[in-house]
Amino acid sequence: MTTARRHARIGRIGLYTLLVWICLFFSIPLLVVISTSLKTSDEVRTFSIFTLPTAPSIAAWIKAWSSACTGLNCGGVRVGFWNSVRILVPSVAISVLAGAITGYALSHWRIRGANMIMLLLLICAFIPYQVILYPLVKTFSTIGIYSSLPCIIAVHVIFGLPVMSLLFRNFYVGLPEELVKAARIDGAGFWRIFVFVMLPMSVNILIVATILQTTGIWNDYLLGLIFAGRDNMPMTVQLNAIATTSTGIIEYNVNTAAALLTALPPLLIYFLSGRYFVRGITAGAVKG
């Protein structure tokens, strides 16, 4: 009995040790980037990024935010930050709402072919962006909005639609049908039921969808690069441009600070929202 208990104890110690090591592997890149961003330019040039800063300063953060250069533009990542915000807010609002309406219409209204539409939408969620980039670029140029804010917002709504619809449909299917029926008997129509019965019950799923879209759109690179145009370049695109500029001495402290500033909004959402984030990520995993 005692040997068995000792074995169990050794097992548990081994288990926690392994977990701690793996957690270190996961956290080291973030710690390294944070520590480098707090260094002075001299320190960055002479030591590896694994050493701790001797005199931590936020000078690099200030420079990254307000005066880091992308080519000849030296406005810092705040330019990209505000571009990303301008893209993010309408894109998230429209795509979440569109997904909610589609999911609702496909769940309680017994439309013929609803399952077929769902299957076709599901397939859309798997299609790589690259396959439809060129037709979309052509179409948007023909309409005359290519490389503009409306263009990038429309693109985010298009690419968010399949996953958002699936997410809401799966949620609404789980709600009791009597709710809609009772409202219908009371004379409420499609939109009234949506606004007064369904939406108030969807707070959780709305949070999950909003978090999923917010992190997804904030972290997007390819769509922003192609559809946003020079004036609306999102933060990820600007960050990559700053970090890969190879003229002069590379200021790793500024680059790491810029990377952290870019990663900060989704990280904050993650740390503040915890389980909602995980639910969204697992539900929207197909989006990749």
Q: Does 21 bind other proteins (CB under 8 A)?
A: no
Nearer to other proteins, 92 or 161 (CB): 161
Which of 110, 144, 247, 249 lies at the binding interface for other proteins (CB under 8 A)? Answer: 110
Which of 51, 57, 148, 245 lies at the binding interface for other proteins (CB under 8 A)? Answer: 51
Q: What letter does residue 231 receive in the DSSP assignment? A: G
Measure Cα distances from 192 to 33, 99, 195, 215 in Å: 51, 17, 5, 31
216 CA to centre of own chain: 2
Nearer to other proteins, 85 or 123 (CB): 123
Sole residue written with tokens 């697992």: 282
Which of 127, 143, 173, 195 lies at the binding interface for other proteins (CB under 8 A)? Answer: 127
* Binding residues among 133-152 for other proteins as defined by CB under 8 A: 133-136, 139
Q: Does 31 bind other proteins (CB under 8 A)?
A: no
Which of 10, 18, 74, 89 lies at the binding interface for other proteins (CB under 8 A)? Answer: 18
Q: Are 256 and 33 in contact (CB under 8 A)?
A: yes
Q: Does 130 bind other proteins (CB under 8 A)?
A: yes
Q: Does 262 bind other proteins (CB under 8 A)?
A: yes
List % helix, strand, coil for the chain (3-state, nearest 5). 75, 0, 20
Sole residue written with tokens 């790793």: 252
CA distance 168 to 38: 43
Distance of closest approach, residue 88 Cβ to other proteins, in angstroms: 13
CA distance 180 to 189: 10
CA distance 206 to 93: 10
Q: Does 173 bind other proteins (CB under 8 A)?
A: no
Each residue 58-97 as x (binds other proteins by CB under 8 A) or -, in order, gives ----------------------------------------
CA distance 129 to 223: 8
- Choices 54-62, 64-72, 200-208, 217-225; region in contact with other proteins by CB under 8 A: 217-225
- Residue 137, CB-side half-sphere exposure with 13 Å CA sphere: 14
Q: Does 182 bind other proteins (CB under 8 A)?
A: yes
Which of 120, 143, 173, 201 lies at the binding interface for other proteins (CB under 8 A)? Answer: 120
Q: Looking at the DSSP assignment, which residues form a beta bridge with residue 70?
A: 73
Measure Cα distances from 247 to 75, 251, 259 in Å: 17, 11, 19
The footprint of other proteins on this chain (CB under 8 A) covers a number of residues equal to: 92
Which of 181, 195, 196, 201 lies at the binding interface for other proteins (CB under 8 A)? Answer: 181
Nearer to other proteins, 157 or 205 (CB): 157
CA distance 283 to 160: 13
Which of 59, 93, 97, 117 lies at the binding interface for other proteins (CB under 8 A)? Answer: 117
Q: Are 96 and 213 in contact (CB under 8 A)?
A: yes
Distance of closest approach, residue 119 Cβ to other proteins, in angstroms: 8
Each residue 224-253 as x (binds other proteins by CB under 8 A) or -, in order, gives --x---------x--xx--xx-------x-
